Amino acid sequence: MALQPHMTKTERTCPRCGLVFASEKLDGLCPACLLGSLFDDNSTDDSKAFWEDDAEAAEPAPNSTPPAPVRRFSHFELLEELGRGGMGIVYRARDIGTGRIIALKVLQAHHLEVPDLVTRFRSEVRAVTSLDHPHVLPVHEVGEYEGIPFFSMKLTTGGSLAQRVGDFLGRPTEIARLLAKVARGVAHAHERGILHRDLKPGNILLDSAGEPFVCDFGLAKWIEDDRNLTITSAVLGTPHYIAPEQASGQKGLTTAADIYSLGAIIYELLTARPPFVGQSIIETLRLASENTPERPSSLAQNIPRDLETICLKCLEREPASRYPSATALAIDLENWLEGRPILARPVGAAEQLWRWARRNPLPAALIASVAMLLVATAVVATVSAVRIEKARDQAVTAEAIAREKLYESLLAQARASLLTGQAGHSLDALKALREAARIHDNLDLRNLAVRALSFTDIEAERADIPIGPSSRPPRSFDSRLEHIAEESGRGALRILRLADGATTARLEIPDSGLQTLDLIAFSPDDRHLIARQPDGRLLLWDVAAQKLLRTYAGAPVEKAPWYARNFAFTADSSILAISRAEGGIAVYPADSDKPATLIPVTGAIRALAFSPDGSRLAVAEYGRPRLQIWDLSAPRLALELDLASPAYSLDWHPNGRELVAGCFDSNLYLLDARNGQRKGTFSGHLQEITQVLFSPSGDRLVSTGLDKTIRLWSLGSLMQEVVLPSYGSEPALRFSRDGTRLAATSASSTAHLFKIHDASAVCRILVNGRLGRPTLVGCLSFSPDGTRIASATYEGIDLWDTREGRLAGTYSISPDSEKSVRFLDDSSTLLVGSRKNGLRQYSISGSTHEPRLTPGEILDEETDFIFSNTPPGDRNLLPLTSSKKGVARVFDLQARHDLLRIDNVPEIWDLSISPDQKTIALSFSGQAPGESGHTQIWNMADRRKLTTLPGGQNGTARFSPDGTWIKASGRGPASGVWKTSDWTRDNVLDFNANNIVFHTGDNAWIAGASSETVIVWNRDGTGKYTLEPPLNKTRYTLLGFRLSAGPGGHFLAALSSNNTLLLWNLHELDERLRQYGLLAPKSLQHQPTTQPQLEIR
C-alpha cells in the first residue's frame, strides 16, 4: 500500500514553541500550546522583559546609520531568539566571558507573577542539571539574574527531529539507531527518578553529525515527588504523543508514559503521521485514550515486521504491557539492528480477543459461559504455556538488562578515567572499553576509544623496587635503567642492580668523618660516578674499577643542596664543570685534575648544564632570576637573560637551540638559547621545581618538584600530558636511551620504572607562539613528501615539521591580509595567494629545523584573490575568488592566464572544480541578496549556470574524487550531498560537516569538520569515528578547522582558528583500534553491504 496523507491541511509553525504542524482550526498554535492556553490566564501577556528592549532608545540622526542593537542578559549577549514555549524563551547567545556560542533558556518575565510557573521552570532546571548522558542535551551553567532563573545549554545545529521527519521515511535502520540512543538518554533520566512527560520529535534535537539529544524537561516530574503544579490542570504533554493514562488525566504516571511517547515517535518516523490524528484536540485525546493505533504496515510499505512489533509494544494501552524500562526498549532496538531475536512478541489472536472482551463485557460474558466447558482444558494448557513463556522472557530480559548495566558502567568508568589526567587514565579507559566492546561494538564506543588513544599515558612497569636504607639519600640511575647508585650510610656508596636488588659495586669514601653526601650522579656514559659532600668537595670514581680517581674543591650549597646541581658533564662525558669554592666555574677534562678553563661568574651557582655539543655552558645563580650562557671557546658571556624566578634546574634540548629552566615559581620556561626569547611556559606544579629533563628525542619534558609529582609535558603542544602524583621530588629522574621508559624514586625507599605510552604516534597537538589568539585560517597544505605542512593565517605563513612534531618557522608574508598557500609538485616550493599582493612562488631552503622562505616569481599581480583549500585533479588549475570584486577565476599556472572568468558574482566565497574539469561549483558568504548563500553549478565550456543548490553561509562545495556527487555545506542549516547526474539529493551519503577532504587509496575515507571535532566516514558513508582533540586539561577550545589529507592517506591535519594544528595518523589509529577489538580486521572492512557504496578511485 502506498503511503497516504492522513488529512489535507495547511502546514503551520507554532509561534509559541516553534513546532511545525498541519492544521486549519487551531488558530496558529500547536495542540500542546493551545491546550496550555486553555488553563493559563497569563498566556497572552505580550509585555517585553527588560532584556528584550532595543539596546538604544534614542532615534538616530537623519542620514545616519543606527547602531546595531545589542541585547544582554547577565553575562550573555543575546544573538537571536530560537523559540519560546509556555514557560520560557530560548535564545542563541554568546557567553561574554568565554566567547562560546550557547543556547540560553530564560523564564518569560510575565510568568514571574505565577509562582507555579516559576516552580515548574525551576523543576526543569533541577531535572536537566541532575542528568549527564551523551544523548541528553548538556547544561553548561545554571543561575538567576535579577530574580529571573535561567540555564545555558549546548547549542545544536542540526535542528529538531520534527524538522527532519521526512529524512527518515523509508529508512528503518536509521530510525532504530536514532531511537535506541534516545531511549538510552530517557533511561538515564528514569534511573535518576525523572519522567519527561512531553517526549515528541520537537524535543529531540540533532547536532551537525545527526546525534540526538533529549531536551526540554519543562514537564519533567520526579517519580517520588508529590508536589502539585496546577498550571495546566490534569493533562500535560502534546496530544499526539501522550499515553492513554496521561490523556485521561490519570495521576501517578510511571515510566511507561515516556515509553509510549517513544513508540509514538517511532510510529511517526515510520508512517509520516502520529498514531492518532483527530479533527480537534479533544478528539485526539479521546482517540489516544480509547483506541489502539493502526499497524504501521497498513499505512506505509516496507516496514520490517520486528520493528513494527517493537513500535506497537511501546504503544500498548496497558502500561504493564509495554516495555518494563526504556533500557529494555533500547536493547530490543539494538537486537534488531544487530540481527538478534527481539524480546517483544506480536499481539496474538487470544490477546486480541481478551482485549475485545474488556471493551465489550456483556457479549463477552455470554460467549464465555457457552464456551467455558469446551475449552477448559485448552485454557489451562494455554495459561501454563503463557506462564512458561513469560518466565523465559523475564529471564532473557533480566540477563539483557544486566549486560546493559554492565555496559553502561564500563562506559562511565572510561569517561571518568579520561577526566582525571593522572597516570593510567587512558589505559584504564581502554581496558574498560575493551570489555564493553564484548557486549556492544558501536560508534559511540569507538569514539571514546579514539579519545583515549589520543592521550599520552604512563604505567608502572616495575613498582616499589626496594632500595634504602634512609628515606631520602642521594641517588642516581644509570642510562640503561639497570642500576641505581645511592649512599649506603656514612663512608660508602653502593650500586644496586634493579632486577634483583643485588649490590654490584661498593665505593668507599676516604676520610668521610661524619659527613653524608648531598648529591650523586652517573656520568652520561655511566663510566664515572660523582658525589658532592656538604663542604662542597666532589669525589669522582671509576665505576668499573670501583676506584676513587680524584677529589675537587667545589663550592658548598647553603640551601636545599640535595637538588642543587652545581656541577655538570658534557654529553660525551669528556668534560666536567664545577662550581669552585673560591668563586667562578672551573672546566676540567674528565681525566685531569687541572682546569682547562675558568669562567668568572660572581654569584653562588645553583645549576649548570652543557649544550649537547659541549661548546656552551648554561649557568643559574642562587637567588637571582637570571640565566647566563657562556661560550667556552673564548670563554665569553654569549647571552644573559632575565627569568621570572630563580632557576633550580636546567637542561638543553638535543638540538642545542633551546633549553628549559625549572624555577622557584613552580613553572618551567622554554627558552631560545640563541636570543633568549621565551618560547613557552609550562604551569602545573604547586611548588618549586627540583629537576627537569628533555627526552632523548626532544619531543617532551619530564619534571618533578617539591609537590611530589612527576609531570610529562609535550613540546609540540606546550601542554601537560600526564601527572603522576605521590612520586618524585628527589632529582633522580632519568629517561631510557630510547625515551620510552622513565625511572624515578620516592620518599618510601623504593625505586620505580615506568613505561610511557606515547600518543604522538596517533595524534600530535602542535602550537605556535600565537596560541589562543583567534586568527583567520585561510589554507592548509601537505608537502608531496609529507614531511612538512604549510598553513596560511591572517598574520603570515607557518611551516610545521611533521617528523619532529613542532613548528619549524613563522614567516611574516603579506601580514594583516587573508591568504592561501599550497605546495607545488616538489616539497621545496610554495605558492602563496594574498589579497594584498597576488600570486607568488616562494622557495624553501636551509635546514629542516630552520627553513628559510625566499620570494620567487610573481605569477599573477591581480590583488584581492585567494585560492581554494582543496586543489582539483589537475594541480596546474588554480581556483581563485574575490568577494570584494565579485569575481571567480580558474587560473592556469603553466600558461599564466585565466581559463575561465565569471564576473558579477557578489559575495563569492569559494570555487571548486570537478575532477573532469567540466563543471565548477561557486559558494557564497550569504550576506548579499538573491541566490547568495547557495551553491551555483556552472558549465566551464560555455560559462552557463546549470542549477542552484542549497548551501549555508560561508559555505564550501567539494566534488567527490570520481565526480559522481558534490557536498555543499556552510554555517547555516542547509547542507547536503547532491548527485551530479541529475543534481538531486542523495539521502544515503549525507555528511553533516564542512571542509570535506578525501583519501582515495585502498582504505578510502572522507573527513569533515563539525563544530569542535573532525568526523571520519568510511567509503559507504557510514561513520568510522570522530576525532576529538584531547584538550580537556586546557583553558581553550578549538573552532573553525581547516583540513588537509597527507600523501598516502595515513595522515589528516586540522588547523583551528586559535593557531593549534592537530595531526592524526589514521593508519596507526586504525591498528590500535583493531588491537582493542573496536575496528573490524582489514579483510572484513570492505565486504559488500546492503547500502550503496561510495565509489572512490
pLDDT at residue 491 greater than cutoff 80: no
Write the pLDDT tens digit of every residue in 190-226: 988 888 888 999 899 998 888 999 988 755 555 444 4
Q: Is 849 among the domain residues?
A: no
- The end-to-end CA distance of the chain, in Å, is 40
Q: Which CATH number goes with the domain that contains 160? A: 1.10.510.10
- Say yes or no: 976 and 1056 in one domain: no
What pLDDT digit, counting tens, does each position of 788-799 carry?
999 988 888 999
Strand partners, 785: none
Q: What is the pLDDT of residue 311?
A: 95
* Structure confidence by residue, pLDDT tens digits, 1006-1057: 888 776 788 888 877 777 888 887 764 444 455 567 888 888 888 999 888 7
SS in 3 state form for 796-807? CEEEEECCCCEE
1022 residue type, one letter: T
Residue 164 lies in a domain: yes
Task: Tell me the three state secondary structure of residue 248.
Answer: coil
Residues 449 and 465 occupy one common structural domain: no
In a domain, 569, yes or no: yes
When pLDDT is cut at 50, 70 and 90, the band that residue 570 belongs to is: very high
Q: Which residue has the higher pLDDT, 18 or 599?
A: 599
**Does the pLDDT value for residue 696 go beyond 90?**
yes
Q: Answer whether residue 821 is part of any domain.
A: no
- Does the pLDDT value for residue 935 go beyond 90? no
Q: Are residues 713 and 806 in the same domain?
A: no
E strand or H helix at 652: strand 647-652
Considering the domain boundaries, does residue 616 fall inside one?
Answer: yes
368 pLDDT tier (thresholds 50, 70, 90) = low
Q: Using the predicted structure, report yes or no on whether residue 1084 has a pLDDT greater than 60.
A: no
Judgement on whether residues 397 and 442 belong to the same structural domain of the protein: yes
- d(C-alpha 593, C-alpha 588), whole Å: 7
Quick check: 158 pLDDT over 50? yes
Range 895-919 average pLDDT: 91
Query: Of the candidates 453, 482, 511, which is a domain's last residue?
Result: 453
Q: In this predicted structure, which of 439-443, 782-786, 868-872, 1077-1081 has the lowest mean pLDDT?
A: 868-872
Q: Mutual orientation of helices 31-39 and 281-290 as an angle, nearest 10°?
A: 100
In the predicted model, is pLDDT for residue 974 greater than 70? no
Residues 110 and 196 in one domain: yes
Last residue of a domain, one of 323, 347, 371: 347
Structural domain span for residue 234: 11-56+68-347
**Residue 556: inside a domain, yes or no?**
yes
Residue 1079: HSE in the Cβ half-sphere, 13 Å Cα cutoff: 24
What does the pLDDT look like over 459-484, one tens digit per residue? 988 877 888 765 567 889 999 999 99
| Number of folded domains that form the chain | 5
Angle at Cα 641 formed by Cα 637 and Cα 647, nearest 5°?
105
885 is in an annotated binding site: no
- 499, 774 contact by CB (below 8 A): no
Q: Compute φ and ψ for 175, nearest 5 degrees.
A: -60, -50
Share of the chain above pLDDT 70, in %: 80
Residue 184 C-beta-side C-alpha neighbours within 13 Å = 23
Considering the domain architecture, whether residues 962 and 1006 belong to the same structural domain is answered as no
Q: Are residues 476 and 595 in the same domain?
A: yes
DSSP 388-425: HHHHHHHHHHHHHHHHHHHHHHHHHHHHHHHHH-BTTH
Instruction: Report percent pLDDT > 90 for the chain.
Output: 39
Name the band, by pLDDT with cuts 50, 70 and 90, for residue 8.
Answer: very low
Least confident of 243-252, 469-478, 630-639: 469-478
- Mean pLDDT (whole number) for 322-348: 86
Where is pLDDT greater, at 860 or 52? 860
Give residue 364's pLDDT band: very low, low, confident or very high (50, 70, 90). Answer: low
Residue 233, pLDDT score:
35
Q: Which of 72-76, 845-849, 1039-1043 has the lowest mean pLDDT?
A: 1039-1043
Q: Give the model's pLDDT for residue 11.
A: 44
Look at 64-73, 299-308, 337-346, 974-983 and tell me which has the smallest mean pLDDT.
64-73
Same domain, 521 and 588: yes
218, 88 Cβ separation under 8 angstroms: yes
Same domain for 263 and 371, yes or no, is no
DSSP letter (8 states) at residue 263: H
Residue type, 31: P
Same domain, 32 and 119: yes
Write out the three cell numbers for 621.
645563580
Q: What is the DSSP string of 85-106?
A: -SSEEEEEEEETTT--EEEEEE
Grid cell 504533554 in the structure block, residue: 237
Q: How confident is the model at residue 46 (pLDDT cuts 50, 70, 90)?
A: very low
| Average pLDDT for 86-108 | 86
The total of other beta-carbon atoms located within 10 Å of residue 283's CB is: 13
Specify the pLDDT at position 363: 60
| pLDDT tens, residue by residue, 512-564 | 655 678 899 999 999 999 999 988 999 999 999 999 999 999 999 888 888 89
pLDDT, averaged across the chain: 81
The closest of 191, 327, 202 to 259, measured between CA atoms, is: 327
Residue 865 located in a structural domain: no
Q: Is the pLDDT of residue 350 over 60?
A: no
Q: Once rounded to an integer, what is the mean pLDDT over residues 911-923?
A: 91
User: What pLDDT does 35 receive?
Assistant: 46
List the single range of 52-56, 330-334, 502-506, 721-725 with lowest mean pLDDT: 52-56
Q: Which three cell numbers stand for residue 356?
A: 475485545
Query: What's phi and psi for 328, nearest 5 deg?
Result: -65, -40
Q: In this model, does residue 314 exceed pLDDT 90?
A: yes
| Residue 45 pLDDT greater than 70, yes or no | no
Residue 402, pLDDT score = 85
| Confidence (pLDDT) at 643 | 95
Work out the pLDDT band at 7, boundaries 50, 70, 90.
very low
Interval 111-128: pLDDT, tens: 777 777 777 777 767 767
Each residue's pLDDT tens digit, 1065-1083: 999 999 999 888 888 776 4
Q: How much is the pLDDT for 1079?
A: 82
240 and 119 share one domain = yes
Domain boundary among 296, 317, 347: 347
> Is 63 or 480 the better-scoring residue by pLDDT?
480
Instruction: For residues 366-390, give the mean pLDDT.
Output: 64
The CATH number assigned to the domain holding 620 equals 2.130.10.10
Q: Which residues pair with 838 in a beta bridge?
A: 834
Residue 1070 near residue 1064, CB atoms below 8 Å: no
Is 352's pLDDT higher than 70? no
Residue 18 has pLDDT above 50, yes or no: no
- Same domain assignment for residues 155 and 232: yes
In a domain, 371, yes or no: yes
Nearest one of 953, 908, 916, 957 to 937, comparing CA atoms: 957
Asked which of 232-246, 278-292, 324-338, 915-929 is least confident by mean pLDDT, the reply is 232-246
C-alpha–C-alpha distance, residues 770 and 985, integer Å: 42
pLDDT value, residue 1002: 66
Q: Cis before residue 635, ω within 30 degrees of 0?
A: yes
Q: Which range in 38-52, 387-401, 410-424, 884-898 is most confidently predicted, on average pLDDT? A: 884-898
**pTM score:** 0.65
Q: What is the pLDDT of residue 62?
A: 47
State mean pLDDT over 863-867. Answer: 91
**CB under 8 Å, gap of 24 or more: what pairs does 351-358 form?**
355/292, 355/317
pLDDT > 70? residue 12: no
